[in-house]
Structure 1
Amino acid sequence: MAGYDVLVRCPVCRHEQIYAPPAFPCACGAPVVPPVTHGAAVALTHRTPADAWVTVRCATCGRGTDWPRPELGCACGTVLRVPVTSEEGAEGAERAEGAGAGGGAREPDPGDGTCALCAPEGDEGAAPCASCAPKSRPSLTPPHIPLPRTAPTPRYAFRPLPVRGARDAVATCARFLRWLGYEDVREAYPAEERPPSGTRLTALGVLAQIEPTARPASLRDVECAWLTAMTHTVTCACFALSGFTPAARSRADELDVALFRIELSGTPEPLNGAADELTATGA
């Protein structure tokens, strides 16, 4: 049936076009082409799994198999379902396969309706043969749909080191960022944008502002760090040895900036929801 083309007419715009039905591979190796008809097609407005398939019988081996119903797109935007002839006849032939003369492979048993192949004497629990097994339509969905990652990647426990000065505070922040998954942590070069106070660390995907002195980080510190992070489209995090002013904390919540207080034990403590999320998910 290769090269079998039909003329299909759209019921919406009356446009006519040539349609060549696809050839599907039968289990016997022969191509199976749905017997489509000429003329008006049906505008498809709703597709359901039940009517998305049609049983087509192989002309070579006589096997009836479910294949997708032929569809065609019209230039007016309508999806057309091309009619297939003898659908009921094909399904009836499948059900009657082997029951008539010349079947040879099946022998109906009037007692229980099964054939001799799938129910030999003395073996009532035998599995049905391929002809008697229930026919199932191909699934429209894959057996497994990958879900997005909802749990953080397991990490080893953070190992803190005591903080005895400003340099220790900066080193603690660098170690903490690497623990989160930022591998290329480095201190901002002098030629780059310098913070109003403190130290700034950068890595691929993150900018960290650190206030390693006894002064609480101010509103200006948080806003300057956030503006720089937005310029480079990276995550912004602020660390402070003595915490943050109330105005700075309030503004950080509005801007979704992660705030951490550096404990003298060497552990950065999350102070807001953004910091909790960054600690849980990492880079």
Structure 2
Amino acid sequence: MTDSVPVRCPACRREQSFTPPTFPCSCGAPLTVPVLRDGAPEEIEHRTWQDIWVVVDCPSCGRQGHWPQPEFGCGCGVLVRVPVTPPLPAAAPPPAPAVARPAFRPVTIRTARDAVTAAAQYLKWLGFRDPRRPEDREAGVDLYGTGLVARVDPSTRPAGLRDIECLWLHGLQRSALSVFFSLAGYAREARARGDALHIPLFIMDLTGTPQPVNDPADVLIRTGPPDG
């Protein structure tokens, strides 16, 4: 059971008990957001994307992830942000050995359905066991599988910031890796958000051959799925 911590409202100065939230890590272990006991809570006047997520290391597997920022509503009417213990700087791990694979055989893209098929074939080639279309298509998800959610954008416009964030939230909900494929590339903000959230981003041409556009995609190609 998670221990409660005393937190003082910055507006009315009333001290109250706060129980840090617990979430399931993708490794299966419960992860309790580590509240900074001696930190200074802040009144929330407005939110930004950076304000609503915190970076926390899982104590079981060591994986670093983004989790909802702890907050609570005080009886005085103020919404309070609770500070979190920052993660320790991690030593750079040794590079994982590259996965040996046969040459990828692409699927020519003529339709939007072909693009999804090509992405599914590529994900299988990377090592994901069962990428498939959801029976009831969710907004923002075209393929899913064990430890995986993927979006395939066959449109002629670059993928936007909202597309990346929506996919990442689906991955967070499923404790799965999010992977994005786009035929038209990525807007600058979308590319930056993908990098910040460690989402592998790929661009596809009409031959059906995905190409990595960021470091997480390069790592995925080199080492395969996280649980692989």
TM range (shorter): 0.5 to 0.7
Secondary structure, aligned partner of 1:186? coil
1:194 corresponds in structure 2 to 139
Counterparts of 1:239 and 1:250, CA distance in 2: 15
Counterparts of 2:142 and 2:108, CA distance in 1: 20
One-letter identity of the residue aligned with 1:255:
L
> Which deviations, in whole Å up to 9, do the C-alpha atoms of 1:165-195 show, x marking residues without a partner?
21111111000000011121111221x6422
1:216 aligns with 2:166: no
2:208 corresponds in structure 1 to 266
Counterparts of 2:213 and 2:172, CA distance in 1: 21
1:169 aligns with 2:111: no
Q: Is residue 107–residue 117 contact of structure 2 (8 Å, CA) maintained in 1?
A: no
Question: Shift of residue 259 of structure 1?
Answer: 0.5
RCO higher in 1 or 2 (8 Å CA, sep ≥ 6)?
2
Question: Shift of residue 215 of structure 1?
Answer: 2.0
Question: Shift of residue 256 of structure 1?
Answer: 0.6
1:235 corresponds in structure 2 to 177
Secondary structure, aligned partner of 1:236? strand
Q: Which moved more, 1:158-167 or 1:262-271?
A: 158-167
After the TM superposition, which residues 75-90 of structure 1 pair with which residues of structure 2 at under 5 Å, given as runs?
none
- Choose the corresponding residue for 2:131, options 178, 182, 185: 185
> Which deviations, in whole Å up to 9, do the C-alpha atoms of 1:68-107 show, x marking residues without a partner?
xxxxxxxxxxxxxxxxxxxxxxxxxxxxxxxxxxxxxxxx
> Which deviations, in whole Å up to 9, do the C-alpha atoms of 1:208-267 show, x marking residues without a partner?
111112121111000000011011111111111111111100111111111100111211
One-letter identity of the residue aligned with 1:212:
P
Question: Shift of residue 150 of structure 1?
Answer: 3.0
1:255 corresponds in structure 2 to 197
Larger Rg: 1
One-letter identity of the residue aligned with 1:194:
A
Counterparts of 2:128 and 2:106, CA distance in 1: 17
After the TM superposition, which residues 58-73 of structure 1 pair with which residues of structure 2 at under 5 Å, given as runs?
none
Q: Is residue 179–residue 200 contact of structure 2 (8 Å, CA) maintained in 1?
A: yes
Counterparts of 1:153 and 1:216, CA distance in 2: 30
Identity of aligned residues (%): 42
Counterparts of 1:249 and 1:149, CA distance in 2: 24
- Choose the corresponding residue for 2:104, options 152, 158, 178: 158
Question: Shift of residue 273 of structure 1?
Answer: 0.3
1:206 corresponds in structure 2 to 148
Counterparts of 2:153 and 2:198, CA distance in 1: 19
TM-score (normalised: structure 2) = 0.55
> Which deviations, in whole Å up to 9, do the C-alpha atoms of 1:115-173 show, x marking residues without a partner?
xxxxxxxxxxxxxxxxxxxxxxxxxxxxxxxxx99313311111113212211111110
TM-score (normalised: structure 1) = 0.44
Where do 4+ consecutive residues of structure 1 move more than 6 Å? Answer: none
One-letter identity of the residue aligned with 1:183:
R
1:275 aligns with 2:220: no
Structure 1: stretches of 5+ with no match in the other structure: 1-147
Question: Size of the alignment, in residue pairs?
Answer: 132
Q: Measured at CA, do residues 254 and 150 of structure 1 come closer, stay the same or move farther in structure 2, by a change above 3 Å?
A: closer
State the Cα RMSD in Å.
1.7
Q: Is residue 96–residue 223 contact of structure 2 (8 Å, CA) maintained in 1?
A: no
Structure 2: stretches of 5+ with no match in the other structure: 1-93
Counterparts of 1:178 and 1:259, CA distance in 2: 16
1:246 aligns with 2:192: no
Q: Is residue 159–residue 184 contact of structure 2 (8 Å, CA) maintained in 1?
A: yes
